[in-house]
Structure 1
Amino acid sequence: MLTSIAYPQSNSQAEVINREIILGLKKRLKAKKGRWTEELPSVLWAYKTTHWTTTGESPFSLCFGSEAMILVEIAVHSPRVIHFNQAENKEGLRSLLDLVEELIDKATIRVAAYHQRVSRYYNKRLNPRPLSDGDLVL
């Protein structure tokens, strides 16, 4: 059964995302127990900007069509900062927004290919048991 992306509660995506956020908080709070509210924004930012194996893209890029710039890039004057032009940036962002649907389609294809790889791996280790009439099955 296919479920809608618009209702993550129905396809258990809400639980998966919450689990990832809690794991990220646990990793960062070893020394600072009770200060999770200070660490939550950075954990959420890390979750939104991390490339996932299944899609090959970050949730941020799937939503906005471009990669987020991290603070380190600004501090060390990366090529993205040095060659920044306000007028060209606006036009570039508009063109990227036009391509978001294509990016999502590519991510959907990657997810299907990932599911096939996982299925093949699982099925390799599966021991088939033939059933005949009269066999009791749970």
Structure 2
Amino acid sequence: MSTLVHPQANGQVESSNKIIVNNLKKRLDKKKGGWAEELSFVLLADRTTYKVATEAVIPTEVVIPTVRYLLQDHENDDKILAQDRDTIDELRDLDKICIAAHEQKIIKAYNKNIRVRRFQIGDLVLRKTFQNTKDPSAGKLAPKWEGPYLIDVEAGKGEYWLATLEGDDFPRSWNALHVKAFYM
């Protein structure tokens, strides 16, 4: 993706996209067609990875020390590394708790606007048409709903078996999201 407003950022965007694509390729070794399921995990990993530019020390700075090299505390680095190894399990547990809390917030926000449709056996309903059930010759003006049908059996939470008005059953159940009430 490139932008005309900030052309200097085009290289940064392409670099970021390259990292995401490479990480996707690594995760898709066995399941080539499942990139859509893996994308959210790769994006989460990319967004939560700590990114900071490291300072390179050129070899001459080691032989002829500069002020920058002298100010670094090399003995303390080993102590910090040992402390990080000791606390990594606790940090992982805290991260898992934060991720679970975030997922709960997302689920709560998503489910806030969902209104479950409930039907009784014998109710008249319309069924949403899909690409395989539409008349291909109808074009854009094809009806979006077909029916009416009867609710024959409640198969589960929000799932119903439909029947035609003559009593013929359909070969599978329908989710309440794809069915709406029909009033005569």
TM-score calculated relative to the size of structure 2? 0.35
**Structure whose residues are more often strand by fraction:** 2
Q: Which has the higher contact order (CA 8 A, sep 6+)?
A: 1
TM-score calculated relative to the size of structure 1? 0.45
Larger Rg: 2
